[in-house]
């Protein structure tokens, strides 16, 4: 599966953020395609279960756009929402029946007959790997989903599911403010098993670029700004380049609804940090030299 070098995350495009009109959705989709950002990250719950459908209206009105993009979506979280009145509490459901039902709903929402990549959104304490594999196998055979993966799974949880069905993606929180995947074996596992790591909140949810008194963030920004001067770039591009340059092949999932920020992020793929520069940022995050 070929994804764009950065992925446009849609969580804040709808009700949970910018509240785009159909025209605004179409404009940003076309603008993303024009700059080579063709992968779009969704989840069934985004916008209280409305963002998929809003995005899908554009595809329904402009069918030619579908074969120019890759749709990633997630299922498994059951939120309390007026759009899901049957949910009494927030819970997880990774049962065979729920995965199949969720995909059918997403296909209808997107006005498409296939999803490029489906992820299990969160680890589920009641996850039955055989049931997930059964659902994934059926969906793949039917051509309704082309590729499969997980989101926020620990290394051993990936191992469990991977023993029943190939895991191709692990979408996880990863940034200079969240170094756990670098040290807990998650990114090592991605390299070992050819799993694509996708990083959500690659800029720490925007905290890495915000005015703050946090010492860790100030150290990181000081180094990022120093390197930005060297590469005639900006701090956010340097921070994304730091992720992209990791040998596991991290793909940032951008949380912005501004095309200017998305366009700027694509420049991160053109910067190749030197090893010492990469470790300068690591040291700035941890506050100490490597052991």
> Which positions are annotated as active-site residues?
46
CB 12 within 8 A of CB 47: no
- CA–CA gap between residue 273 and residue 238 (Å, rounded): 8
- CA–CA gap between residue 46 and residue 13 (Å, rounded): 9
Half-sphere exposure of 14 (CA within 13 A, CB side): 22
Q: Which residues lie below 8 Å from residue 77, measured CB to CB, with a gap of 6+?
A: 43, 44, 45, 90, 92, 121, 122
- CA–CA gap between residue 70 and residue 37 (Å, rounded): 10
Q: What value, to the nearest 5°, has the Cα angle with vertex 110 and ends 10 and 195? A: 60
Question: Residue 86 phi/psi, 5° resolution?
Answer: -75, -15
- CA–CA gap between residue 173 and residue 180 (Å, rounded): 9
Q: Do you know the residue count of the chain?
A: 291
């Amino acid at each position: 599966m070929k994804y764009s070098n950065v992925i446009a995350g849609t969580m804040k495009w709808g009700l949970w953020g910018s509240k785009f009109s159909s025209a605004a959705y179409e404009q940003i989709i076309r603008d993303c395609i024009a700059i080579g950002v063709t992968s779009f990250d969704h989840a069934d719950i985004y916008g209280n279960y409305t963002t998929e459908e809003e995005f899908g209206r554009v595809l329904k009105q402009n069918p030619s756009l579908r074969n120019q993009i890759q749709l990633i979506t997630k299922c498994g979280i059951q939120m309390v929402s007026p759009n899901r009145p049957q949910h009494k509490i927030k819970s997880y459901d990774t049962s065979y029946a729920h995965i199949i039902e969720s995909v059918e709903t997403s296909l209808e929402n997107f006005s498409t007959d296939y999803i490029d990549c489906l992820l299990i959104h969160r680890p589920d304490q009641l996850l039955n790997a055989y049931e997930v594999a059964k659902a994934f196998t059926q969906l793949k055979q039917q051509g309704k989903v082309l590729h499969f993966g997980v989101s926020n799974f620990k290394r051993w949880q990936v191992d469990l599911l991977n023993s029943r069905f190939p895991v191709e993606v692990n979408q996880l929180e990863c940034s200079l403010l969240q170094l756990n995947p670098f040290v807990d074996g998650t990114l090592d596992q991605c390299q070992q098993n050819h799993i694509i790591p996708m990083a959500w909140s690659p800029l720490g949810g925007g905290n890495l670029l915000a005015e703050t008194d946090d010492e860790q963030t100030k150290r990181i920004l000081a180094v990022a700004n120093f390197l930005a001067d060297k590469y005639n770039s900006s701090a956010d591009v340097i921070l994304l380049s730091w992720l992209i340059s990791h040998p596991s092949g991290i793909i940032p999932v951008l949380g912005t609804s501004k095309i200017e920020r998305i366009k700027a992020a694509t420049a991160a793929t053109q910067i190749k940090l030197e090893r010492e520069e990469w470790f300068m940022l690591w040291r700035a995050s941890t506050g100490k030299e490597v052991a």
